[in-house]
Amino acid sequence: MSAELKRKAAEVALTHVRPGMRLGLGTGSTAEEFVKLLGPRVAAGLDVIGVPTSERTAALAASLGIRLATLDELPELDLTIDGADEIGPRLALVKGGGGALLREKIVAAASARMIVIADSAKVVAELGAFPLPIEVVPFGLEATRRAIVARAAALGLEGPVRLRMAGDRPYLTDGGHLILDASFRRIPQPEALALALSGIPGCVEHGLFIGLASLAVVAGPGGVSLLEP
């Protein structure tokens, strides 16, 4: 996705922001375009307060003068704007490519609305081509990985489930967890898989966002389109 398309989607999302809003600020390159556009609006007098979904987003927002709070200080938000790795039917999402899926889902769930910004290539007829990120605790990693494989196989899903690396070390989330990327290629029943993964003790959270997004702003070569569930 070109920076121009990301910016176009972010510009449309910005029109949904009103003075006084409590905003969830997403993580990833597309969400960062929104934060970069929000900064000048705040400098010009727009009164909002943001709750970032990652340390990276927090640093960017702070550098642009955006007032920030924690979710403990603002446990109910008006709107979250975030990106997605895949957008499927009924706005079911795969998220977590940027490694912030746990905080992203907590913030989205605390928001009255969630708007997703993406390019048209992220819109798919069926989820699963993008490897599904699953955040797990380090303790018992192999037992958890095998449980994921078994639960997926029971749903007819198979494919490698690999530990995400950052160079020669395992990738660590802001919460100190690990991420397993599950390459199932297709997820025809995301609700069933979400339920199965949630029942595994070592799984902290998974990257299936179901019933959270209320609008998707999708930018493509032909312009920007709006998708609803």
User: Rounded CA gap, 164 and 210, in Å?
Assistant: 23
Give the DSSP H/E element, type plus range, for residue 196: helix 190-198
Return the pLDDT at 3: 86
Q: What is the pLDDT of residue 185?
A: 97
Question: Mean pLDDT per 10-residue run, the chain (229 residues)?
Answer: 87 98 97 98 98 98 98 98 98 97 98 97 97 98 98 98 98 98 98 98 98 97 95
Residue ranges of the chain assigned to CATH 3.40.50.1360: 3-122+210-221
Indicate the CATH number of 132-206 among 3.30.300.30, 2.60.220.30, 3.40.50.300, 3.30.70.260: 3.30.70.260
Q: Which CATH number fits domain 3-122+210-221: 3.50.50.60, 3.40.50.1360, 3.40.50.300, 2.60.120.10?
A: 3.40.50.1360
C-alpha 114/C-alpha 198 separation (Å) is 22
- pLDDT for position 141: 98
Quote the CA–CA distance of 59 and 87 in Å, as a whole number: 27
Binding-site positions for substrate read 27-30, 82-85, 95-98, 122
- Annotated catalytic residue within 104, 126, 158, 205: 104
The answer to whether residue 104 is catalytic is yes
Q: How far apart are CA 37 and CA 43, in angstroms?
A: 11
Name the segment(s) of the chain with CATH classification 3.30.70.260.
Answer: 132-206
Q: What is the pTM of this model?
A: 0.96
